[in-house]
Each structure stands twice: as structure tokens, then as C-alpha cells.
């Protein structure tokens, strides 16, 4: 990607609230872009101003100073009004739960309709396409209150898609979802960015998911500015540790760090997932795990007839990790 | 079953016509249905006294029912959508209380030491009620410009209502019993006071505001998603809120001025209508509730005349008596009200 097309450009943008007592500035002098075909994850601790920046980019609140420029190219004026440029998925709940899914997704076509709000053939086509893209055609006639949280979020994404904008901004789209739904939402958004060449910005604090799906990270939390880069660069530079002040979480290995409180070494041999999870079980219970050495209790992880077995000092054998742990503790 | 839902809107206009005819047939003078039909068809042979009764009293009253019910229901629907609150009604903005305060000032001013009018004429009362509504409306608009969220506006409307009601109580405390009685009679509401000129005025208000409400359909539908989503799909929040508040005030003010503070219709009709017509689209709801409002008012007015036919009960007592159990029944049935 030598020539990226910027669909949103921020020019010396300052974001926050103008209060009677003075200005509460959350971000200052931002100069960033969102590019076509890229999924950007906007990360930072709670309360740092992620929602405020999303709202400002979406035109829902005024910038303190500076500009947000929409459309491809720096000197090109945006085509049509803002709702033709950018759509949003917010944390607001929809109160009208008796509405059906197709009705809600149709709201995405409002920026293209007159006061008579009649859906043209083209509008109906766009609504159906949006439902298909998110794989929720089968939910089209369901009422909102019949949906699970994950399904509701998919509907809100379909609504944004029906708005047919080059840019989609999402505020915490995976909050309140279980792991499976979180992964599904993130994968969907990445696929949409690539396939439909959209610029997608997701505000989230789901660190692990963001690191594995984002093309680019905007990281907030150090001063009133944003650090940007691809996920791997930011992990290795240590800037994440600085911002999030991890307590017992090692980002580089992606694991929770355990204290070896039993003061007891165990040597372990095995391979693959079985080795990793055995090690995890031992470390979680306060043992230090090393590679094979003399005069240490030794565990072999072996697979026989599709069953895992743990053998201590080549004598005692266990068929679950739980029974192995009971032996040691 | 499906086609019943789709065609169910036909019930409303049919009911309206039916109740309208029944309403014309009822009154303290009994006129046979055949005579009423011949009077309506413009026949010259009809009894002239009966003709006067039908045209000058019953027809104006029935039309007032249709107009007032329609106006209050559109106002109620708009308020429920704007505030996304199932219990909102045209009176929540404090408009009716504003009207009440102004009217009570007219009736009871002497007690407070002010000589505003020697004898309150109907037009003076209508004028006072309109002024009261307008006054409260202006306060609400000024506050609405400063507030971003509708819930605060709703609470402020209720507070304005509470304040004006307490001012009315003070006035009542200071006034003579006869004056109080005239005021209390006004608060009962009345549908039979309007002459043809006043009906024309009320019709213009309803038609004009109804059309503006129809033009606000997109904004009203957009509000269903909440402020942020509405704005993100291109609804101008402040402008549409102003238009919605303006039409609501005109509708409520107009009806209150001519018929007194009629309670409950604005709150109940949108819910009753949505029970019959399951949609959230205001393009359908606005015409539907305006017809539904007429139906409920005609029905309530028929109930006021039924017992013995000699006395006519106050309309305000009946609207709540009919409306409240219905709303309770809906809530118990549906477990939740949809806005």
C-alpha cells in the first residue's frame, strides 16, 4: 500500500468540552488520518476521551479548534453532507424495542430521503445488502427485544452499512458481548474494511482483540496526544505498558504473570498446547517450571491413543492435570 | 390474521363516522334519526327548531370533539416521541397549567385586588388561555435552547406545571366561592361552547399544525433512535425540536383556549392507536392518532350524555374515567409501553 487514500484527515484538532469554568481539553493538536481499507483501533484507558473524539469526528459535537476533513484528497471538498460521509455505531441503547430489524436498518437510508421518507428500490436494495453483509438476513423480521446483545450489535453495524458511507466510527462495539461475539464483531469489521474499502475506527479497550485485528492503533493516555503505529511496533516499544500500567500482565507474552510462591522447581518436558497448558497450571499454582535438570521432580507429557498422560519421574502416571496437581500440593 | 393487521386502520375512520352520527342523535331533545338525516341532507321540510339544534349545537359539538381529540392526540404523540417517554402528554410541558393560571387570573383577579375584566367573555377566556400557553411555551423554548437533552426539558416542564398550579391554588385561596366555581367549571372542560367561527379557528390550527407535524415525520422517526443517532443521520436537533414544540403548543393551546384543559386524551390515544396499528412510522401514526383522538372524544362525549340524558357530565371526568383503565389494561397486557 504505497498510496493510501485518506478518507478522514484531522488538522490540528483539539477535542474536549467548553465549560463555563474554562475549557476541558482532552486531546490537542491531533494530525492523523483514517485510510481506505484500514481498520484502526482507538485504545486507551477509560475516561481518556475516546467517546468524545469519536463524537467530534462524527460531527455530533464541535471541535474546540482545528478541523476534521472528510473525503479523499486534501483539497477535495466532501461530496454531500456529513451523514453521507460518516456513519456511527454508538453505545446508546435503542429505546424503541418493538421496532423490527429491517425497520431499524432502514434508518441508515434517512440521509438520502426527503421529508416523505419513502424507501426507493435502490434504498431497499441497500438495506438488504447491509443485512446480507452482516449475515443477519434471517433476523430481518425479528423485533429488537427478541435479539441477543450480540445480534443487536450486528443490527447496529448493518444500520451503519446501509448508510453507505466511506467512513464508519464505532464506540465500544464489543462491550457487553461474550468472547465469541467479540471475535465475530471484530472479524466482521476487518473484513468490511478490506472488502468494501472503508475506513473503520473502533474505540475499544479490548487489548488482545485489537492487537490481533487492527491495521493501525491509535493509543491515547500519554499527555493529550495520540501515539500511532501498527500493533506489533507499539507492543515492542513498551508504550502500551506505559499507558495501561499493567498490574501482573505481561503484554509481550500475552500472559498473566504468576508469583512462584511455593519456592519449588519442577522440570517439564513435552510439546505443543499440552506443554503450554501444563506449564500454565503449574505456574498458576506457584511452581517454577524449568527445562529438565538433575535432582528435580520431572514431569513428562505424553500422548497415547489420543489421550494425554502426565508421568512423574517415569513412575507415577496421571490422566488429568487436576490429579497431577493434587499429588504435588 | 396477517391481513387483519394490515387492514385494521380502516376500523378507525369507520368508528369515527359511526360515532359522529350517534353523537348527532343524542341530546336533551330527542330527534328521530330519520329527521336528523333529512336535516343533514339539507331538506327544507324539517322542523326548524330541530334544524337549529342539529346545526348550531350538535354539529358544532361533534366537530369540536373530532378537532380537539385529533389536536390533543397529535400533540401527545409528538411529546411521547420527543421525550421518548410513554407517559408524556401535551400537558407535560406545563402548557395546560399555563393556560389554567391565565384563566384563573381572569376569573379570580378581583380577589387578588386586580380588576382585569368586569365580566369574563368566552373570547377573553380563550385569549387568556392562549396567552398562558404561549407564556409557558416561551419559557420552555428559552430553556430548550440551553439544554441538550430532552429528559431535563421534560422535568422542567413538570416543574413549570407544578409552579403554575400552586399559583392557581393561592389565587383560589384568596378568591370568593362564586369565582372559584366559575373557574372550576372551566377546568371541567366543555366541548359545546364553540360557534362556527371558533370551529373555523380550531380547524385552521389543527390542519396547519397537523401538516407541519407530517412534514416533521423524518425528524420524529429519527428521534426514536435517540439524539445522537438522529443527528448522525442528518436530523437537525434544535430546529426539529423547536418545530415539534411549536406545533404541540399551538395544538394544546388552541384546544385549551376553546374547550378548557382536557386531560388524558393526548396521553392515551397514541397508545390505543399503536395497539391497533403496529408501527412506529409517524407518517402513518400522525393521521392515525388524529382520527383515533376524534373517536375517543366522540365516545367520551356520548358517555357524558347517556345517564338520564338530562344532565351532561363534565367531559374531563369522563376522559380520565375511560382512558385510565384502558392504559392500565394495556400496560398489564404488554408489560411495557412502546414509545
* Chain centroid to CA A173: 8
Q: A131, A92, A91: which is closest to A108 by C-alpha?
A: A131
Alpha-carbon span B131 to B127, nearest angstrom: 6
Q: B2, B154, B140: which is closest to B79 by C-alpha?
A: B154
On whether the CB atoms of residues A42 and A203 are closer than 8 A, the answer is: yes
Beta carbons of A99 and B84 less than 8 Å apart: no
Beta carbons of A88 and B229 less than 8 Å apart: yes
DSSP letter string, B215-233: HTHHHHHHHTT-HHHHHHT
Compute the average pLDDT of residues B75-97.
82
Alpha-carbon span B135 to B129, nearest angstrom: 10
Q: A228, A261, A277, A272: which is closest to A329 by C-alpha?
A: A261
Question: What does the DSSP 8-state code read for residue B82?
Answer: H
Give backbone dihedrals phi and psi of A113, rounded to 5 degrees, phi first.
-110, 155
What angle in degrees, to the nearest 10, is found between the helix axes of B59-82 and B282-305?
A: 140
Q: Residue B185 to residues A287, B58, B178, B309: CA-CA distances in angstroms?
A: 87, 21, 11, 19
For residue B41, give how far its alpha carbon lies from the nearest alpha carbon of chain A (Å): 38
Beta carbons of B229 and A108 less than 8 Å apart: no
Beta carbons of A110 and B229 less than 8 Å apart: no
For residue B237, give how far its alpha carbon lies from the nearest alpha carbon of chain A (Å): 10
Instruction: Classify residue B320: in a domain, yes or no.
Output: yes
Beta carbons of B221 and A113 less than 8 Å apart: no
For residue B279, give how far its alpha carbon lies from the nearest alpha carbon of chain A (Å): 8
Q: Looking at the predicted structure, is the pLDDT value of residue B111 above 60? A: no
A299: Cβ contacts below 8 Å, ≥ 6 apart: A266, A267, A268, A269, A270, A278, A310, A311, A312, A324
On whether the CB atoms of residues B228 and A57 are closer than 8 A, the answer is: no
B99: Cβ contacts below 8 Å, ≥ 6 apart: B128, B129, B130, B132, B133, B253, B256, B257, B261
Domains and CATH numbers, chain A: 6-85+165-250 (3.40.50.300), 265-328 (no CATH)
Compute the average pLDDT of residues B194-212.
90
**Which of B224, B229, B239 is best to mutate for the A interface (most A CBs within 10 A)?**
B229
Instruction: Classify residue B339: in a domain, yes or no.
Output: no
Q: Please list every residue in chain A whose beta carbon sits closer than 8 Å to the beta carbon of residue B228.
A: 55, 60, 88, 90, 92
Instruction: Classify residue B282: in a domain, yes or no.
Output: yes
Q: What is the model's pLDDT at position B5?
A: 52
Q: What is the pLDDT of residues B40-81, one digit of tens each?
A: 887 776 788 888 888 888 899 999 999 999 999 999 999 889
Q: What is the model's pLDDT at position B334?
A: 65
CA end-to-end span of chain A: 55
Q: What is the model's pLDDT at position B128?
A: 81
What's the pLDDT band for B238 if we cut at 50, 70, 90? confident
Give mean pLDDT in consecutive 10-residue pieces for chain A, a chain of 329 residues: 78 88 88 94 89 94 91 59 93 86 95 88 95 93 91 94 95 89 92 94 90 93 87 89 81 78 87 89 89 84 88 90 88
On whether the CB atoms of residues A277 and A253 are closer than 8 A, the answer is: no
Beta carbons of A115 and B232 less than 8 Å apart: no
Alpha-carbon span B249 to B130, nearest angstrom: 9
Say how many CA atoms lie within 13 Å of B312 toward its Cβ: 16
- For residues B6 and A158, which has the higher predicted lDDT (pLDDT)? A158
Q: What is the model's pLDDT at position B29?
A: 77
Instruction: Classify residue B303: in a domain, yes or no.
Output: yes
Alpha-carbon span A233 to B163, nearest angstrom: 63
Strands (E), chain B: none
Which contiguous run of DSSP H or E holds residue A65?
strand A65-70
Provide, rounded to the nearest whole percent, the portion of chain B with pLDDT above 90.
25
Beta carbons of A110 and B222 less than 8 Å apart: yes
Q: Please list every residue in chain A whose beta carbon sits closer than 8 Å to the beta carbon of residue B226.
A: 92-95
Interface confidence, given as ipTM, is 0.84
Beta carbons of B229 and A99 less than 8 Å apart: no
For residue A195, give how far its alpha carbon lies from the nearest alpha carbon of chain B (Å): 24
Weakest mean pLDDT among A119-123, B4-8, B77-81, B234-238:
B4-8
Alpha-carbon span A292 to A300, nearest angstrom: 10
Q: Please list every residue in chain B whose beta carbon sits closer than 8 Å to the beta carbon of residue A117.
A: 217-218, 221, 281, 283
> Which neighbouring-strand residues pair with A216?
A40
Buried/exposed A54-75: b ≥16 CB within 10 Å, e otherwise: bbbbbbbbebbebebbbbeeee
Q: Number of structural domains, chain B?
A: 1
B80: Cβ contacts below 8 Å, ≥ 6 apart: B86, B88, B89, B270, B339
Q: What is the model's pLDDT at position A78?
A: 53
What's the pLDDT band for B320 if we cut at 50, 70, 90? confident
Q: What is the model's pLDDT at position A32?
A: 92
On whether the CB atoms of residues A87 and A108 are closer than 8 A, the answer is: yes
Compute the average pLDDT of residues B103-128.
66
Q: What is the model's pLDDT at position B183?
A: 83
State pTM to two decimals: 0.83
Q: What is the model's pLDDT at position A183?
A: 92
Domain hosting B160: range is 2-334
On whether the CB atoms of residues B107 and B290 are closer than 8 A, the answer is: no
Q: What is the CATH number of the domain that holds B272?
A: 1.10.3470.10
Which contiguous run of DSSP H or E holds residue B328?
helix B315-334
Chain A: residue nearest B231 by CA?
A60
Size of interface A-B (CB pairs under 8 A): 77
Alpha-carbon span B147 to B145, nearest angstrom: 6
- For residues B109 and A65, which has the higher predicted lDDT (pLDDT)? A65
Chain A: residue nearest B218 by CA?
A115
What's the pLDDT band for B113 if we cut at 50, 70, 90? low
Instruction: Classify residue B236: in a domain, yes or no.
Output: yes
pLDDT mean across residues, chain B:
83
On whether the CB atoms of residues B219 and B235 are closer than 8 A, the answer is: yes
Q: A199, A197, A156: which is closest to A176 by C-alpha?
A: A156
Instruction: Classify residue B200: in a domain, yes or no.
Output: yes
DSSP letter string, B286-308: HHHHHHHHHHHHHHHHHHHHTTT
A114: Cβ contacts below 8 Å, ≥ 6 apart: B218
Q: Looking at the predicted structure, is the pLDDT value of residue B25 above 50? A: yes
Amino acid at each position: 500500500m504505497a498510496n493510501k487514500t485518506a478518507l478522514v484527515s484531522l488538522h490540528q484538532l483539539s477535542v474536549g468540552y467548553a465549560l463555563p469554568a474554562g475549557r476541558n481539553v482532552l486531546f490537542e493538536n491531533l494530525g492523523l488520518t483514517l485510510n481506505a481499507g484500514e481498520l484502526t483501533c482507538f485504545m486507551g484507558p477509560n475516561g481518556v476521551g475516546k467517546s468524545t473524539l469519536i463524537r467530534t469526528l462524527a460531527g455530533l459535537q464541535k471541535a474546540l479548534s482545528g478541523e476534521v476533513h472528510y473525503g479523499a484528497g486534501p483539497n477535495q471538498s466532501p461530496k454531500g453532507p456529513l451523514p453521507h460521509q460518516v456513519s456511527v455505531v454508538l453505545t446508546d441503547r435503542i429505546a424503541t424495542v418493538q421496532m423490527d430489524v429491517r425497520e431499524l436498518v432502514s434508518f441508515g437510508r434517512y440521509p438520502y430521503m426527503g421529508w416523505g421518507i419513502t424507501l426507493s428500490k435502490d434504498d431497499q436494495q441497500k438495506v438488504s445488502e447491509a443485512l446480507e453483509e452482516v449475515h443477519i438476513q434471517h433476523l430481518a423480521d425479528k423485533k429488537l427485544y427478541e435479539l441477543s446483545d450480540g445480534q443487536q450489535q450486528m443490527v447496529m453495524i448493518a444500520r451503519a452499512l446501509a448508510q453507505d458511507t466511506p467512513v464508519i466510527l464505532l464506540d465500544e462495539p464489543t462491550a457487553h458481548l461474550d468472547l465469541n461475539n467479540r471475535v465475530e464483531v471484530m472479524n466482521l469489521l476487518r473484513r468490511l474494511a478490506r472488502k468494501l474499502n472503508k475506513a473503520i475506527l473502533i474505540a475499544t479497550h479490548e487489548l488482545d482483540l485489537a492487537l490481533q485485528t487492527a491495521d493501525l492503533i491509535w493509543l491515547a493516555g500519554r499527555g493529550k496526544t495520540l501515539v500511532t503505529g501498527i500493533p506489533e511496533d507499539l507492543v515492542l516499544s513498551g508504550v502500551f505498558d506505559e499507558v495501561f500500567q499493567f498490574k501482573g500482565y505481561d503484554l509481550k507474552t500475552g500472559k498473566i504473570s504468576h508469583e512462584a510462591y511455593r519456592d519449588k522447581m519442577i522440570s517439564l518436558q513435552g510439546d505443543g498446547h499440552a506443554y503450554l497448558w501444563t506449564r500454565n497450571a503449574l505456574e498458576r499454582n506457584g511452581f517454577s517450571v524449568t527445562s529438565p535438570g538433575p535432582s528435580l521432580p520431572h514431569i513428562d507429557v505424553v500422548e497415547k491413543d489420543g489421550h494425554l498422560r502426565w508421568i512423574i519421574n517415569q513412575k507415577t502416571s496421571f490422566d488429568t492435570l487436576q490429579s497431577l496437581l493434587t499429588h504435588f500440593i | 390474521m396477517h391481513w387483519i393487521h394490515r387492514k385494521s386502520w380502516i376500523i378507525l375512520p369507520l368508528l369515527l363516522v359511526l360515532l359522529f352520527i350517534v353523537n348527532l342523535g343524542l341530546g336533551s331533545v330527542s330527534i328521530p334519526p330519520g329527521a336528523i338525516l333529512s336535516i343533514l341532507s339539507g331538506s327544507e321540510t324539517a322542523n326548524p327548531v330541530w334544524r337549529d339544534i342539529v346545526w348550531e349545537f350538535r354539529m358544532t359539538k361533534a366537530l369540536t370533539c373530532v378537532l380537539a381529540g385529533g389536536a390533543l392526540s397529535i400533540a401527545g404523540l409528538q411529546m411521547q416521541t420527543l421525550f421518548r417517554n410513554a407517559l408524556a402528554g401535551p400537558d407535560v410541558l406545563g402548557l395546560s397549567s399555563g393556560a389554567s393560571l391565565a384563566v384563573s387570573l381572569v376569573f379570580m383577579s378581583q380577589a387578588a385586588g386586580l380588576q382585569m375584566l368586569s365580566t369574563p367573555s368566552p373570547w377573553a377566556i380563550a385569549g387568556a388561555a392562549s396567552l398562558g400557553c404561549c407564556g409557558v411555551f416561551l419559557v420552555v423554548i428559552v430553556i430548550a435552547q440551553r439544554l441538550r437533552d430532552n429528559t431535563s426539558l421534560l422535568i422542567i416542564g413538570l416543574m413549570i406545571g407544578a409552579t403554575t398550579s400552586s399559583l392557581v391554588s393561592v389565587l383560589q385561596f384568596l378568591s370568593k366561592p362564586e369565582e372559584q366555581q366559575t373557574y372550576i367549571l372551566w377546568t371541567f372542560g366543555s366541548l359545546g361552547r364553540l360557534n362556527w367561527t371558533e370551529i373555523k379557528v380550531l380547524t385552521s390550527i389543527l390542519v396547519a399544525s397537523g401538516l407541519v407535524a407530517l412534514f416533521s415525520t423524518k425528524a420524529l422517526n429519527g428521534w426514536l433512535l435517540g439524539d445522537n443517532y438522529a443527528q448522525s443521520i442528518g436530523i437537525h436537533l434544535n430546529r426539529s425540536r423547536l418545530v415539534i414544540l411549536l406545533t404541540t403548543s399551538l395544538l394544546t393551546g388552541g384546544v385549551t383556549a376553546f374547550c378548557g384543559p382536557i386531560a388524558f386524551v393526548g396521553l392515551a390515544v397514541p397508545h390505543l392507536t399503536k395497539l391497533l396499528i403496529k408501527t412506529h412510522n409517524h407518517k402513518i401514526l400522525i393521521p392515525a392518532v388524529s382520527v383515533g383522538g376524534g373517536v375517543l372524544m366522540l365516545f367520551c362525549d356520548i358517555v357524558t350524555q347517556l345517564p338520564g340524558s338530562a344532565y351532561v357530565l363534565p367531559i374531563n371526568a369522563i376522559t380520565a374515567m375511560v382512558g385510565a383503565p384502558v392504559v392500565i389494561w394495556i400496560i398489564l397486557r404488554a408489560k411495557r409501553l412502546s414509545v
